[in-house]
Amino acid sequence: MKRLSNYIFILLMTIGLLVGCASNENSSQPEESMSDTTTEETQGQEGTTYPLTVEDSAGNEVVLEEDPERIVSLIPSNTEIVFAVDAGEQVVGVSDHDNYPEQVKEIDRVGGMQINTEKVLSLKPDLVLAHGSSAHNSQAALDQISNAGIPVYVVKNASDFKGVYETIHSVGKLVNEQEKADSIVTGMKDKLKGIKEKASEIKDPKSVFVEVSPAPEIYTTGTGTFMHHMLQAINAENAAANQEGWVKMNEEAIINLQPDVIITTYGYYTEKPVEKVLSREGWEEVPANEKKQVYDVHSDLVTRAGPRLIEGIERLAEAVYPETFGDE
């Protein structure tokens, strides 16, 4: 049980939405926040000029004297973006939770929820990428790193695709890969637009319940969360839309929701998650169980604010509407 609780805590830390941390602004966010068109400032395809002075999401002024050659990333989503913009060779340190791409398995680890500041300093980075979802919990460590003369940039905690696009652009600018960042964002927008256009043709939207952690502590996604907007993007109804943020629900309440589809996201650490949901006593008349419409989607694809979120939406769409997206 202790191990399970740790997994749940790590998961919620990863998506930056611990209980009590979701803002009212996020919870009232309109559906168009998932739009494939955004109003963020176009970064252009010109190379970055150093010295570079930028403001991070925490309001700190960060100065890079030159193109960073040694980067430490403190959260998996940052790491995935750096590798996606072709700056992976500069990464010399990653978090304990990093697992993608394959190359990160050979890179030094610098801690998880607790940053190993001695290890970070020993790697002599010229850029440390922190994240808005966890920076407030690691402020002392980040201050120690910054006081050692190492630039620390807090990447925005994106709550929608517009925010993800902005984080990709910001990282691309820091590492002098703006053209690659532009290309990634354009590709994401195009794919999201195609998914939404196809989903708009669905006449009978399904009700979907998302389990982000298994019984007995079942957490789900309510309004004001990235996952809620992802469901909207594929024209599915969030069965827990009357909840706000990431919340724990008991089994009786979930049964009463009568979802058409159940999505689990914890198969990477729980054996046979689909079978366990289907075998729950008292769930026989839940439409999802009755019709065996229970599927597992890997958590990394739907919780990490980076380029692979599009793949996450594709997997969700294929699971919920196989007749529409199954041949993709």
Per-residue pLDDT of 107-128, as tens digits, reads 999 999 899 999 999 999 999 9
Confidence label for 20 from pLDDT (cuts 50, 70 and 90): very low
Length of the chain in terms of residues written: 328
Q: What is the mean pLDDT of residues 199-204?
A: 96
Confidence label for 97 from pLDDT (cuts 50, 70 and 90): very high
| Residue 198, pLDDT score | 96
- Tokens at residue 232, please? 């909207």
First to last CA, the chain: 39
Q: What is the mean pLDDT of residues 36-55?
A: 68
Phi, psi of 285 (to 5 degrees): -100, 5
CA–CA distance, 156 with 81 (Å, rounded to integer): 13
Q: What is the mean pLDDT of residues 225-231?
A: 92
pTM of the model: 0.86
pLDDT of 21 over the 50 cut: no
Q: What is the mean pLDDT of residues 22-45?
A: 42
- Is the previous residue joined to 125 through a cis bond, with omega within 30 degrees of 0? no
Q: Which domains does the chain have, with CATH numbers?
A: 2-34+202-325 (3.40.50.1980), 52-194 (3.40.50.1980)
Q: What is the pLDDT of residues 64-85, one digit of tens each?
A: 999 999 999 999 999 999 999 9
More confident residue, 254 or 19: 254
Neighbours of 53 (CB within 10 A): 9
Q: Reduced to 3 states, what is the DSSP secondary structure of residue 222?
A: coil
Phi, psi of 167 (to 5 degrees): -65, -40
- Tokens at residue 25, please? 């602004």
CA–CA distance, 217 with 60 (Å, rounded to integer): 38
Strand residue runs (E) in the chain: 52-55, 61-64, 71-73, 91-94, 108-109, 127-131, 152-155, 207-211, 218-221, 237-238, 246-249, 261-264, 294-296
Confidence label for 51 from pLDDT (cuts 50, 70 and 90): very high
| Residue 47, pLDDT score | 83
Q: What is the mean pLDDT of residues 242-267?
A: 96
CA–CA distance, 251 with 216 (Å, rounded to integer): 9
More confident residue, 54 or 12: 54
DSSP tag of 112: S
Beta bridge partners of residue 208, listed in sequence order: 238, 261
Q: Reduced to 3 states, what is the DSSP secondary structure of residue 183?
A: helix
| Residue 46, pLDDT score | 67
DSSP tag of 47: P
| Residue 327, pLDDT score | 63
Confidence label for 205 from pLDDT (cuts 50, 70 and 90): very high
CA–CA distance, 176 with 152 (Å, rounded to integer): 17
More confident residue, 128 or 42: 128
Estimate the crossing angle of helix 76-84 against helix 161-174, to 10 degrees.
Answer: 60
Confidence label for 11 from pLDDT (cuts 50, 70 and 90): low
Question: Among 6-20, 187-201, 264-278, whose mean pLDDT is lowest?
Answer: 6-20
| Residue 300, pLDDT score | 95
What is 3-31 written as a DSSP string?
HHHHHHHHHHHHTT--TT---HHHHT--G
Please give the mean pLDDT across all residues of the chain. 88
CA–CA distance, 159 with 198 (Å, rounded to integer): 24
More confident residue, 19 or 177: 177
